[in-house]
Amino acid sequence: MQQSDKKYRVLRRIGEGGMAEVYSAEMQCQPGYSKRVAVKRVLPHLARNRRFMTMFLDEARLGLLLSHCNIVNVFDVGRADDAYFIVMEYVNGVNLKEVWELFDQRNALMPLEVACAIAVEICRGLDYAHTLTDTQGNPLGVVHHDVNPANVLLSVNGEVKLVDFGLSEAALHAQKVDPDILRGKFGYVSPEAALGMRSDARSDLFAVAIMLYELATGQRLFYGKDDIESLQLARAAQVPSPRAANPYVPASLERVLLKALARDPDDRFQTARSFGLALTEVLFEMGRPVSAFRIGDVVDVVRSHRREHASERAAFIEMMIEEELMRFESLDHSDPPPPPADHNLWDDGE
């Protein structure tokens, strides 16, 4: 990636999604001072799509308006050498998708109180965004529209942050260019969104409830063999009893989850605040307070597993190289016959 007027110094590539690749970078401030940031660069084939880029930049600028501890801050949106980018807060940690996958792999469940605490923090961020107004006090009507585990970041310090606010419409348009962009995300859409109806802030809350259900039970809720089946499951919105899947789920948490996952939006929690308060009451009832340190402990476990996996992969590659070298050394190394004189590659032309 090219540097942008030397304001950002790219350190390393840390990931790639359907629309962009992400780099760890330093933002140059005053001489001698810099700030660690994440730079999201739009993939080249999408950067050439003018309509996509218009939507992407318009929606990305929404992030500049948002400032909350549970939302990843956006610092800059721009272009350098035909590369469009978003500069945002660097979160040192993992996403909730990685957390889910590790617990699933180990056939284990996240402690219920930790799962509820994470959901409460997500609700705090959504409450701020959903109630944001302009300078005249008029509601801006901000909705995320793409709340899913990959867009929930957990830091080593136990912070919970939502990322990619406002990019859902651009992602839908990009899907026409690359159908894989939204693959795997349809398990977190609301019934009304799956039916193509107008969705509002309550769809964001529905997605939060799906994630909490899955963390609490260890079972995917609307997860089909492909995206079409996932959409069909979301449209039907049939929710099995959480306590049937995990008897340790308190009855109070089950009531909250079933209300949050009601098929009719009018039967759900109407605001992120009311949903978050209901979960907070469940936490008090459980009598197991959760600090940011507990969430940070979960992040440490996932990062440790990631490092172990990387070490195992490196060891496997090294073993394969050694095997190839041994096979090479076992070959007959007798000198090959010289090439014909008229095909001498080093002929100096004399």
How many angstroms separate the CA atoms of 321 and 318, rounded?
5
Catalytic residues: 146
Helix axis angle, 112-130 to 292-329, nearest 10°: 110
CA 69 to chain centre: 17
Phi-psi map region of 6: left, alpha, beta (phi>0 left; psi -120 to 50 alpha): left
Residue located via tokens 């348009």: 173
How many angstroms separate the CA atoms of 295 and 347, rounded?
69
Element (H, E) at 88: strand 83-89
Q: What is the DSSP string of 304-327?
A: HHHHHHHHHHHHHHHHHHHHHHHH
How many angstroms separate the CA atoms of 157 and 295, rounded?
8
| Radius of gyration over every alpha carbon of the chain, rounded to an integer in angstroms | 25
Contact status, residue 275 vs residue 123, Cβ threshold 8 Å: yes
Contact status, residue 42 vs residue 84, Cβ threshold 8 Å: yes
DSSP conformational letter for 334:
P
How many angstroms separate the CA atoms of 189 and 206, rounded?
8
